[in-house]
Chains A and B, each alone.
Chain A
C-alpha cells in the first residue's frame, strides 16, 4: 500500500470547511483566545450566505476592533468613538437598499456612544448593531468599562469595581430592548462551538430582518472574553466568563419580532 500524501487529501470531496472570502488574509490584530475574530467571521459568513457582499457597508468603532475594516472584506467606514450608530443611520437612510451594520465594543456603545445607541434604536433605524461586551477597555490597556462587573479588577478599578462610587454595570441590551424601535434584541456568546452556531443563527436573523425591512433595529450582543485584559489564560477566561459574566449578562433572545419575551 502506497503512502498517503497531503496532496491526496486536498480534494474537493474532502472539504469540510472553507474560510469565507469576505474575511481578508490580513493577520488578525486580536490577542490569541479573544472572541473578536470569531465574531468577525460569523458576520462575514452571514453576509456572504445572504449574497450581500456588494451591497453592504460596515461601520467600525474605536476600541480593539478599530481595525475591523482590515479584516472584513466589504466597504467600511471607521467612525469616531461611539458615533457608529449615527454614521450608520445616515448611510441607511441615504441608501435604503443597502445592508448597513455597526460593530461596537462596550466602551464605544455603552459609555461614550450611549446617546447615539439609544436614539438610533429608538428611531427604529433599519440597521444591525453587533455589540461585543467583554466588560473591559481592551485597546487602551484594561480600564473599567460601563459593563465591568461589580468587584471586578481593572487598571482603573484596581481594588475591584465599587458600585457605590463607580456606578453599576450597565445592561444596555435590556435597556434598548425596552424601546419600541428595536425589533430583535439578543445576547449570545462565541466561546464554544455550540455557542458559535447559535450566535451565527442570531446574526443571520438580524441581517435577514434588515433585508426584509422589518420595522426596527436588530441588536446582537455577544458576551466575550478579554483574556489579556482580564489577565487570564484563554481557557481560564472562558471559564471565568461562564461563571461570572453569564449570570449577570444572561444569554438568549430578549426581544423577537418586536415582542419582549417573558422571563
Chain B
C-alpha cells in the first residue's frame, strides 16, 4: 500500500534519502533548502535505519565529508543552494577525479553572488559543464515536482555507484518549498559493511587481510598518467551520454513549435501549451530530465521532423539555450525566454515570447 503524504519538495527529498538507505547526510543550512537538514534532524533517521546526520561547519566541510564517506563505499548525500554549491565545486572536482560516488542536491536560488532566496535556474552552466576545475561532467537530474524530488534520490544513487561519480539533483526554490501530494516508496535496506566490501572493492575502509591497500586520489604528477586517468573519465562520460539520457515529450506528435524547459519552467510551460493550442498554435514540450547528459537525439529527431522553432524557457538569462543551439546547429530557429534573479515567468509571458520570438519572428 503506497504511502501518500502532503509534503514540501525539500521534505520529500529528505524522506527519500532515509528510504533509499542513505548512510550519511552532511549539510549546512541555507535558504531555500534548510528544511532538508531540519527534517532529517527531527526524524531521527539513526533510529529508523542507522543513517547518520551531521551539521557541518560549512559547505566546504560538507562536500569533503562526502569525499571521505563516499570513498569508503557508503551512500552519502548533501544538499544546499546556489552559493553553497559554489563552495562545493572544489570538492566535486576532487570527487570526479578520484571517482567517488555521492549525491548533491542544489535547490537553486537567484544569483550571482548572494543574490536572493527566490527560485532560479541560473546554475545550469555550473551544473552541466563541470562546475569546478578540470575536464569532467556530473550526471544532473532535474525534478519538476515534489514527487520527483522523492523519486530521483534512489535513481541518483544508482547512477552515482554505477559510474563512481557525484550526481547532482538540480531543483529550485519553487519545487523545494511548494507542497504537493507525494507517493513515498518503500524503505530500502542500507547495505551492510560486508555487502559494501563485496560490491565496491575500491572502497577505502581498511585493507582486507592479504590484499593490496586501496588508494583514492586525483593526483597524478606524471602528465601521461594524468592524461590516462582523463581518458578513463572521458570514456565513462561517453558511456553515460549513450545510456543515461532521460527526458519527457508532451504534445510533440503534431507540434510545429517546441518549448524546451526543465523543472519549474516546464510546469509553467505546460500551461502555456494549453493556452497556445486554444489559439490554434501547435506547441509541444520537451522536458530534459537529465540536463547532463543532454537529450540531443530527441531534439535532433524533432528538427528532422520539420519543427519550425525551439524556445528554451528558463529562469535564467539563457543558459540551456546554448545546448539547444549546439544540437539544432542553425537548421531552424532557436530562441530563449525567461525571467530571472528570482522572478518567475507567467504562462502568458511565455506565450507572448513564443509568438513574438518563434511563431511570428
- Chain A residues proximal to chain B, CB less than 8 Å: 53-57, 59-60, 66-67, 69, 73-80, 83, 86-91, 93-95, 98, 115-116, 118-119
In the bound complex, what is the Cα–Cα distance between A57 and B70 (angstroms)?
13
- Chain B residues proximal to chain A, CB less than 8 Å: 23-24, 26, 52, 54, 56-58, 60-62, 64-69, 71-72, 74, 76, 90-91, 94, 98, 193, 204-209, 213-219
Contact between chains at A57 and B206 (CB < 8 Å): yes
Task: Give 16 pairs: A residue, B residue, CB < 8 Å, sorted on A.
Answer: A60-B217, A73-B213, A75-B213, A76-B214, A78-B98, A78-B219, A79-B67, A79-B94, A83-B61, A86-B56, A86-B64, A90-B24, A94-B76, A95-B205, A95-B206, A98-B206
Partner of A57, one of B91, B205, B209, B218: B205
Contact between chains at A119 and B57 (CB < 8 Å): yes
Contact between chains at A87 and B72 (CB < 8 Å): no
**B46, chain A: closest CB distance, angstroms:** 11
Contact between chains at B57 and A90 (CB < 8 Å): no
Evaluate whether A80 and B90 lie within 8 angstroms (CB atoms) in the complex, with A87-B64, A89-B68, A91-B71 already known: yes
Contact between chains at B76 and A90 (CB < 8 Å): yes
Contact between chains at A86 and B61 (CB < 8 Å): yes
In this complex, what residue of A is CB-closest to B205?
Answer: A95
Partner of B214, one of A55, A75, A86, A119: A75
**A65, chain B: closest CB distance, angstroms:** 12
Q: B94: which A residues are within 8 A, CB to CB?
A: 79-80
Which one of B60, B90, B208, B213 has the greatest number of beta carbons of chain A within 10 Å?
B213
Partner of B215, one of A78, A83, A91, A116: A78
Contact between chains at B208 and A54 (CB < 8 Å): yes
In the bound complex, what is the Cα–Cα distance between A223 and B207 (angstroms)?
30
Evaluate whether A91 and B69 lie within 8 angstroms (CB atoms) in the complex, with A54-B206, A83-B91, A115-B60 already known: yes
Evaluate whether A75 and B24 lie within 8 angstroms (CB atoms) in the complex, with A90-B65, A90-B69 already known: no
**A76, chain B: closest CB distance, angstroms:** 5
Which one of A56, A90, A115 has the greatest number of beta carbons of chain B within 10 Å?
A90
Q: Known contacts A79-B68, A90-B54; can you find 7 more A-B pairs with CB under 8 A?
A: A75-B213, A80-B90, A87-B65, A87-B71, A94-B69, A95-B205, A116-B57
Evaluate whether A94 and B74 lie within 8 angstroms (CB atoms) in the complex, with A79-B64, A83-B64 already known: yes
Contact between chains at A80 and B65 (CB < 8 Å): no
Contact between chains at B65 and A86 (CB < 8 Å): yes
Q: B67: which A residues are within 8 A, CB to CB?
A: 77, 79-80, 83, 86-87, 90
Q: Which 8 pairs show the lowest CB-CB distances between chains A and B? A: A87-B68, A78-B217, A90-B65, A90-B69, A83-B64, A90-B68, A86-B64, A119-B57
Evaluate whether A93 and B60 lie within 8 angstroms (CB atoms) in the complex, with A83-B91, A87-B68 already known: no
In the bound complex, what is the Cα–Cα distance between A60 and B218 (angstroms)?
12
Contact between chains at A76 and B204 (CB < 8 Å): yes
Partner of A115, one of B26, B61, B98: B61
**B20, chain A: closest CB distance, angstroms:** 16
**A73, chain B: closest CB distance, angstroms:** 6
In the bound complex, what is the Cα–Cα distance between A53 and B57 (angstroms)?
31
Q: A91: which B residues are within 8 A, CB to CB?
A: 68-69, 71-72, 205
Contact between chains at B58 and A115 (CB < 8 Å): yes
Q: B58: which A residues are within 8 A, CB to CB?
A: 115
Evaluate whether A95 and B72 lie within 8 angstroms (CB atoms) in the complex, with A74-B207, A77-B204, A80-B90 already known: yes
Contact between chains at B205 and A115 (CB < 8 Å): no
**A54, chain B: closest CB distance, angstroms:** 5
In this complex, what residue of A is CB-closest to B217?
Answer: A78
Evaluate whether A80 and B219 lie within 8 angstroms (CB atoms) in the complex, with A89-B68, A94-B52 already known: no
Contact between chains at A90 and B66 (CB < 8 Å): yes
In the bound complex, what is the Cα–Cα distance between A59 and B68 (angstroms)?
9
Q: B91: which A residues are within 8 A, CB to CB?
A: 80, 83
Evaluate whether A78 and B64 lie within 8 angstroms (CB atoms) in the complex, with A54-B206, A90-B26 already known: no
In the bound complex, what is the Cα–Cα distance between A60 and B24 (angstroms)?
22
Q: B24: which A residues are within 8 A, CB to CB?
A: 90, 93-94
In this complex, what residue of A is CB-closest to B100?
Answer: A77
Contact between chains at B213 and A76 (CB < 8 Å): yes
**A172, chain B: closest CB distance, angstroms:** 16
**B9, chain A: closest CB distance, angstroms:** 26
Contact between chains at A74 and B213 (CB < 8 Å): yes
Q: B76: which A residues are within 8 A, CB to CB?
A: 90, 94
In the bound complex, what is the Cα–Cα distance between A55 and B205 (angstroms)?
7
In this complex, what residue of B is CB-closest to A58?
Answer: B204
In this complex, what residue of A is CB-closest to B218?
Answer: A78
Which one of B61, B68, B98 has the greatest number of beta carbons of chain A within 10 Å?
B68
Q: B215: which A residues are within 8 A, CB to CB?
A: 69, 75-78
Partner of B52, one of A54, A69, A76, A93: A93
